[in-house]
C-alpha cells in the first residue's frame, strides 16, 4: 500500500485493517527535483524476486525503512479556515462542532480528521510488524531556511550544487554525512539544519484549508526541546 504524500506510516498504523498490507512510499515524478523525496530503502539481492520477498515478508533486515515527506506540509492536513486564521486539530474541531469561531461557518476538514474518524487504534500503539521510517526535508529547503532565502532562488541552488559536487547525492547529505564534514562546505547553519532534521527537532505548523504547512528548522529552542525530551526516555 503506497502511503502518498499526504500520509506517513504512523497515520496508517492507526487503522488496524491496514495491518495486512506492507506500507511503501514512492515519490511523485512530475518534476525532476521531486524525484526520490519519498523512497523505500532495501538491503536485498538486486532482483525483482529479492525486492518482492522483502516487501511481502516485512522483514526489517531486508526492508530497512521508508523515506517520508512531512505530511503536515500538505495543504489539507489539519482543519480550519485560512482567511479567518483558524487552525484546528481534529479534536479541537469536534469541540467546536466543526464550526469556525470567527465566521460561524463550517470549517474545511483535513486528512487527519478523516484518519481520526477511521482509526481504531490509539497513537503510540502500533501494529506488530512494521517497517521503520524517517522524515526528510529537501536540501534546497534546508539551505533556504538557513540563509533566509526562498527555496528556488539562484543563491540557494548555487550552494546546493556545491554540496552535491562534494558528496554526490542528496540522500547522502541528508542521511549519512557527518555535520563536521558538512561544515567544510558552508558555514554552520546548514549543517545545523540537517542535524535538527535528523533529530526531528522541527517546529511544525500543519497545512489547512488550501494553505501549505510550515516545517521550521530554526524556530528558537526546538533543538534544546528535542534533546530535553530525549533525556526523559
Exactly one of 77, 81, 196, 208 binds Zn ion (CB under 5 A); that residue is 81
Calculate the alpha carbon distances from 225 to 174, 184, 188, 221 in Å: 21, 27, 20, 6
Q: Any idea which residue has 495543504 for its cell? A: 75
Asked if residues 198 and 222 have their Cβ atoms less than 8 Å apart, the reply is no
208 sits near Zn ion (criterion: CB under 5 A): no
Subset of 42-71 contacting Zn ion (CB under 5 A): none
196 sits near Zn ion (criterion: CB under 5 A): no
102 sits near Zn ion (criterion: CB under 5 A): yes
Max CA separation in the chain (angstroms) = 58
Q: Tell me whether residue 96 or residue 199 sits nearer to Zn ion (CB atom).
A: 96
Q: Tell me whether residue 88 or residue 160 sits nearer to Zn ion (CB atom).
A: 88
Sign of the torsion angle spanned by Cα atoms 224, 7, 109, 209: positive
230 sits near Zn ion (criterion: CB under 5 A): no
* Stretch near Zn ion under the rule CB under 5 A, chosen from 24-32, 71-79, 100-108, 186-194: 100-108
129 sits near Zn ion (criterion: CB under 5 A): no
CA 204 to chain centroid: 10
100 sits near Zn ion (criterion: CB under 5 A): yes
Radius of gyration of the chain (CA): 19
Q: How many of the other CB atoms lie within 10 Å of CB of 31? A: 7
What secondary structure does DSSP assign to 4-67, as a single string?
TTT--HHHHHT-GGGTTSPPB-----SSGGGTTSSEEEE-S-SSHHHHHHHHHHT-TTTEEEEE
Q: Which residues contact 97 (CB under 8 A, 6 or more apart)?
A: none
Exactly one of 99, 103, 129, 153 binds Zn ion (CB under 5 A); that residue is 103
* Stretch near Zn ion under the rule CB under 5 A, chosen from 25-33, 42-50, 82-90, 206-214: 82-90
Report how many residues bind Zn ion under the rule CB under 5 A.
5
Q: How far is the CB of 103 from Zn ion (least distance, A)?
A: 3
Exactly one of 18, 64, 84, 223 binds Zn ion (CB under 5 A); that residue is 84
87 sits near Zn ion (criterion: CB under 5 A): no
Q: Tell me whether residue 96 or residue 102 sits nearer to Zn ion (CB atom).
A: 102
Q: How far is the CB of 126 from Zn ion (least distance, A)?
A: 35
Residues near Zn ion (CB under 5 A) are 81, 84, 100, 102-103
Amino acid at each position: 500500500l503506497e502511503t502518498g504524500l499526504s500520509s506517513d506510516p504512523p497515520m496508517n498504523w492507526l487503522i488496524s485493517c491496514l495491518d495486512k498490507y506492507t506500507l511503501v512510499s514512492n515519490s511523485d515524478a512530475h518534476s525532476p527535483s521531486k524525484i526520490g523525496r519519498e523512497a523505500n530503502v532495501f538491503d536485498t539481492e538486486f532482483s525483482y524476486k529479492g525486492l518482492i520477498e522483502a516487501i511481502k515478508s516485512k522483514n526489517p533486515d531486508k526492508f530497512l525503512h521508508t523515506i517520508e515527506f512531512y505530511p503536515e506540509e500538505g495543504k489539507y492536513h489539519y482543519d480550519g479556515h485560512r482567511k479567518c486564521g483558524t487552525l484546528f486539530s481534529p479534536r479541537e474541531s469536534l469541540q467546536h462542532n466543526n464550526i469556525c469561531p470567527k465566521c460561524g461557518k463550517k470549517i474545511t476538514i483535513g486528512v487527519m480528521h478523516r484518519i481520526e474518524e477511521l482509526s481504531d487504534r490509539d497513537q503510540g500503539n502500533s501494529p506488530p510488524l512494521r517497517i521503520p521510517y524517517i522524515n526528510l526535508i529537501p536540501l534546497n529547503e534546508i539551505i533556504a531556511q538557513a540563509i533566509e532565502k526562498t527555496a528556488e532562488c539562484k543563491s540557494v541552488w548555487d550552494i546546493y550544487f556545491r554540496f552535491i559536487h562534494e558528496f554526490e547525492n542528496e540522500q547522502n547529505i541528508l542521511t549519512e554525512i557527518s555535520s563536521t564534514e558538512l561544515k567544510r562546505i558552508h558555514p554552520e547553519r546548514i549543517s545545523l539544519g540537517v542535524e535538527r532534521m535528523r533529530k526531528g527537532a522541527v517546529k511544525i505548523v500543519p497545512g489547512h484549508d488550501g494553505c501549505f504547512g510550515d516545517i521550521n528548522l530554526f524556530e528558537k529552542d526546538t533543538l534544546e526541546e528535542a534533546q530535553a525530551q530525549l533525556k526523559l526516555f
